Amino acid sequence: MRSWTFPIALDATSHTPIFAQIALAIANDIARGRLKKGDSLPGTRTLAETLGVHRTTVTAAYAELDAQGWVATRRGSSTFVATDSPDMRPRRFSKKEALQQGGVAARTGFALEPTSFPLRRVPNPPPGALAMWGGTPDLRLVPVELLARAYRRAARDRGGKLLGYCEHGRGHDRLRDALATMVSTARGITAERENVMVTRGSQMALDLVTRVLVRPGDVVAVESPGYQFAFALFSRAGARVLPIRVDEHGLDVDELARHAAQSRVRFVYVTPHHQFPTTTVLSPTRRLALLELARKHGMAIVEDDYDQEFHYDGRPVLPLASADAHGHVIYLGTLSKILAPGLRLGFVVAPEPLVARLAEEREIIDRQGDMVLESAVAELLEEGEVQRHVRRMRRAYRARRDALCEAVDKHLSSVVRYERPRGGLALWCTVSPDVDADQWLERARAKGVHFQTGREFTLDASPAPHVRFGYAMLHERELTTAVRRMAQAL
């Protein structure tokens, strides 16, 4: 047996457990060749006395080395260095060697179908930039402590039940009940638990609806301008995406009716409360006409109510689903604007047979959501914490809307015109003909301000004389600074 000393420096203040420090030191000695293949290691009692630790600590270290393949043990014999121990410091192979050694190839060996609707990516702003994204809330206002406490309670008190698989794909029953109560009392939609399904964000809800309803060649009508991620989703499902004009009264239902008379429209995707991106409210006359059109042609209406809580002037308009007596409206909601996008909490309210179909489809790709998080948010809804948070945010965002409008009137009145939105999280502006919106954006980025241009909301990515200034992410002083810089960029 080779004589061997152990110069192992153990750090009791380290976050790494002592047994792991011992195992790592021995593995390093094996990798460096200080310990040779087949060399015996000291007994656990001997090494424990040498290092001044408990024998069980050394036993745990040896067990870890054995699990990693560094050492082996014969019955009735000592622990020794394995003859085929792993390589701790793999070298970088050339591309040719990598392929021979089973590395990842530079390209696929099979054909990839071209994407049917390439997304138009917007670069992330650098740190310190003033980002005026239209659909993002101010994460500085998120009630993190309330949410964290509710999450800890759910994990501590109900974690044993919540950390397993859900028996169905519809979401936590407690949150479904809370959401049914919310849409019934605040949005005029009479719903029960059976009508509600929780999803990982409203985008998943829209994806599931598309999977269930759309077959290749189906016609899906959309607002124009509109939401490019919806355009992409429908296009990739094989649908023929039909753009319908939006004016100052919202979706042009007469234009939709003309198309529906000529060919079957599977469904129409609408954002009637604050049209995305223009923030226009669908007029009462057109709301009734759209519901009647759906009844006449057996057409579904997918209503994406992404910011129902944020209406500042007058009474908020109730969703289309609140007036749907014939089961044509599929209502999509989200908690992303209320709380935070990173929580990934959306929901569907629809007739129970459709909810059951959506749940079947969801279980194929994602068995369930985060049951602990859903239970925690349900608690906050039940206790009124979410509702109080919404009232605080509504006051803050109304003040920010007013501050942005004041700054635009002062610094950009010769360049843009707009209608003050009654709600929502953004200002939609028409740009003067002598200003190129996309060039303006590039110059503004150089000054640390990021906003959106009309190109992002057209079906074919064509230039459009519009800009969109989001005001939720920035407080009043930041908004004023951003507008000044945009004026300088001109």
Select, from the ranges 59-68, 101-110, 157-166, 280-289, the one with the highest average predicted confidence (pLDDT): 280-289
Residue 421 lies in a domain: yes
Identify whether the C-beta of residue 290 lies closer than 8 Å to the C-beta of residue 268. yes
User: Which tokens in the block code for residue 359?
Assistant: 């749940």
**Number of DSSP helices (H) and strands (E) in the chain, helices first:** 15, 16
pLDDT of 30 > 90? The answer is: no
pLDDT band for position 48 (50/70/90)? confident
> What is the per-residue pLDDT for 102?
53
pLDDT at 128: 85
For residues 263 and 322, membership in a common domain is answered with yes
Any domain includes 64 = yes
* Structural domains of the chain, count: 3
**In this predicted model, which residue has the larger pLDDT, 230 or 29?**
230
342 lies in the same domain as 417: no
User: 15 pLDDT exceeds 90?
Assistant: no
* pLDDT level of residue 85 (50, 70, 90 thresholds): low
Within this chain, do residues 60 and 184 fall inside the same structural domain, yes or no? no
Q: Give the mean pLDDT of 340-350.
A: 91
Question: Mean pLDDT throughout 170-197?
Answer: 93
Are residues 152 and 252 located together in one domain of the fold?
A: yes
**Same domain flag for 210 and 351:** yes
Specify the range with the lowest mean pLDDT, choosing from 398-407, 457-466, 474-483. Answer: 457-466
What's the average model confidence in pLDDT over 233-255? 95
Look at 150-159, 254-263, 271-280, 392-401 and tell me which has the smallest mean pLDDT. Answer: 150-159
Do residues 464 and 427 make contact, with C-beta atoms less than 8 angstroms apart?
no
Give the pLDDT score at 123.
72
Q: Which residue has the higher pLDDT, 43 or 407?
A: 407
Taking residues 8-21, report their average pLDDT: 80
Q: Indicate if 209 and 340 belong to the same structural domain.
A: yes
Residues 182, 236, single domain; the answer is yes
Please give the biggest Cα pair distance in the chain.
Answer: 94
Q: What is the distance between the terminal CA atoms of the chain, rounded to a whole angstrom?
A: 81
Among 14-28, 142-156, 351-365, the least confident range = 14-28
90 located within any domain: no
Query: Do 167 and 302 fall within a single domain?
Result: yes
- Whether residue 265 is predicted with pLDDT greater than 70 in this model: the reply is yes
Q: Which residue has the tokens 């007058």?
A: 314
The answer on pLDDT for 3 being more than 70 is no
> Which CATH number covers residue 52?
1.10.10.10
Say if CB 361 and CB 211 are below 8 A apart: yes
Mean residue pLDDT across the chain: 88
Residue 118 in any domain: the answer is no
411 & 378 share domain: no
Q: Which of the four pLDDT bands, split at 50, 70 and 90, describes residue 285?
A: very high
Tokens standing for 192? 């029960």
Mean pLDDT of 171-185: 93
pLDDT of residue 94: 55
Whether residue 104 is contained in a domain is answered as no
Burial zone of 277 (CB within 10 Å; 0-12 exposed, 13-18 middle, 19+ buried): buried
Residue 227 lies in a domain: yes
Q: What is the pLDDT of residues 433-444, one digit of tens each?
A: 999 999 999 999
Which tens digits make up the pLDDT trace of 189-227? 999 999 999 999 999 999 999 999 999 999 999 999 999
More confident residue, 107 or 89: 107
> Is pLDDT at 257 greater than 50 in this prediction?
yes
Q: Is residue 12 part of a domain?
A: no
Domain that holds residue 424: 130-140+388-489
- pLDDT at 93 > cutoff 50: no
> Model confidence over 99-109: pLDDT tens digits?
554 567 778 87
More confident residue, 73 or 305: 305
Q: Which stretch of DSSP H or E encloses residue 450?
A: strand 449-450
Tell me, yes or no, whether 422 and 368 share the same domain. Answer: no
| Both tokens assigned to 169 | 């794909």
Same domain, 159 and 230: yes
Residue 446 phi/psi, 5° resolution? -65, -25
What does the pLDDT average to over 275-301?
Answer: 95
Strand order in the sheet with 452-453: 416-418, 426-431, 466-470, 452-453
Q: Is residue 395 part of a domain?
A: yes
Residue 448: CATH number of its domain: 3.90.1150.10
Tell me the CATH number at 268.
3.40.640.10
Residue 331: pLDDT band (50, 70, 90) is very high
Q: Which of 78-92, 202-216, 343-357 has the lowest mean pLDDT?
A: 78-92
Query: Quick one: 339 and 410 in the same domain?
Result: no
